[in-house]
């Protein structure tokens, strides 16, 4: 695959570390050896996985002559934080459309990412009810800006389209090279699966490079059948976008949906345990919406002997720790 033919901004300067988690593995009974890919350490205000996607998405926006970007997400969206951060870096205006997936959950005075939106100087925030057609809502903002003479570019939620997913095709290639350099054989990869760009990009990267490592996504917002279909379609479209002439096998897309209830962004005991356990064994912060629930899923799979004894399991840490500060009562309670 030739990713060099696609414009990118060069936000990812070097590979993110792959680290062994000895204390965390021991706390789970040493059934498997847990490794972590530290995409929480990517550049950008607060770090996180969306930087890889925005590397390509914002390059595409600039190529098209945009002076403004519009994107959407939930009220504590890490994607919105990072889109705004890289827009600031590039001298672009940034407008956000926030979806109240939990009714009355938006608080402009909240900590976490809400605070960072204001600190970085977001141009506008539009709050819409849960279930709103987000592309249409962003188009409304774009129409107003065009009438003012601006040139807006819409980035979908999570930058999860074939352009943004290229960031995780590149991550798949990066990971394979790191594992070779480390002499490390990984038996399974676990990824958070939400807007699908990270999960789909990793699958496309593995398939396109003939990397035969099983991968599972832990759903953070949808039933597994809906999520698997979303991931499958985006992964296939991403392969098509790159120019890889292959039909993606359905069995490459696996999602587990037992860990996100009572709903998107709502805390549950498994997430709380996972966040505390990783913090108290390895001093690594997860977020309460994506990586926390995904880690809870991986912990449960390990405890249920889903992986063979002694297997090497790699967890992709997508970041998002600034959102922790909007959940203080959850962890102090």
Q: Kindly list the catalytic residues.
A: 77
DSSP type of residue 305 = T
Whole-number Å distance between alpha carbons of 264 and 101:
7
Per DSSP, the three-state class of 152 is strand
In the block, tokens 């922790």 appear at: 324
User: What Cα–Cα distance (Å) separates residue 117 from each residue in 230, 251, 275?
Assistant: 29, 39, 24
Please give the backbone phi and psi of residue 233, each rounded to the nearest 5 degrees, phi first. -65, -40
- HSE on the CB side for 150, CA within 13 Å? 19
Query: Please, which residues have CB within 8 angstroms of residue 92's CB and are 6 or more apart in sequence?
Result: 58, 61, 66, 67, 68, 69
DSSP result, 50-99? HHHHHHHHHHHHHHTT-SEEEEEEETT-HHHHHHHHHHHHHT-EEEEEEE
Whole-number Å distance between alpha carbons of 174 and 176:
6
- HSE on the CB side for 233, CA within 13 Å? 8
**CB-CB contact of 193 with 161 (8 Å):** no
10 Å Cβ neighbour count for 328? 11
Strand arrangement of the beta sheet that strand 93-100 belongs to: 124-129, 93-100, 68-74, 152-155
Whole-number Å distance between alpha carbons of 110 and 117:
11
């Amino acid at each position: 695959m030739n990713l060099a033919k696609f414009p990118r901004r060069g936000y990812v300067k070097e590979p993110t570390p792959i680290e062994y988690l000895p204390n965390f593995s021991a706390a789970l009974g040493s059934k498997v050896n847990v490794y972590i890919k530290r995409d929480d350490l990517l550049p950008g205000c607060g770090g996180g996985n969306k930087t890889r996607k925005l590397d390509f998405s914002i390059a595409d926006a600039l190529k098209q002559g945009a002076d403004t970007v519009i994107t959407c997400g939930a009220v504590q969206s890490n994607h919105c934080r990072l889109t705004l951060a890289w827009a600031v870096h590039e001298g672009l205006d940034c407008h956000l459309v926030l979806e109240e997936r939990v009714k009355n959950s938006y608080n402009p005075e909240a900590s976490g990412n809400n605070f960072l939106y204001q600190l970085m100087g977001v141009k506008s925030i539009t709050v819409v009810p849960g279930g709103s057609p987000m592309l249409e809502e962003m188009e409304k903002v774009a129409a107003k800006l065009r009438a003012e003479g601006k040139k807006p570019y819409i980035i979908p939620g999570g930058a999860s389209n074939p352009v943004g997913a290229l960031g995780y095709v590149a991550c798949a290639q990066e990971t394979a090279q790191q594992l070779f350099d480390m002499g490390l054989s990984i038996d399974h990869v676990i990824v958070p699966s939400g807007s699908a760009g990270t999960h789909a990009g990793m699958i496309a990267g593995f398939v396109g490079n003939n990397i035969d490592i099983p991968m599972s996504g832990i759903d953070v917002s949808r039933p597994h059948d809906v999520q698997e279909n979303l991931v499958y379609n985006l992964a296939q479209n991403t392969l098509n976008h790159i120019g890889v002439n292959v039909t993606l096998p359905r069995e490459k897309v696996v999602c587990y949906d037992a860990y996100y209830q009572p709903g998107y962004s709502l805390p549950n005991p498994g997430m709380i345990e996972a966040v505390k356990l990783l913090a108290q064994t390895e001093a690594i912060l997860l977020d309460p919406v994506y990586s926390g629930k995904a880690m809870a899923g991986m912990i449960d799979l390990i405890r249920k002997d889903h992986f063979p004894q002694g297997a090497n399991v790699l967890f992709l840490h997508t970041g998002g720790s600034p959102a922790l500060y909007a959940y203080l009562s959850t962890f102090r309670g």
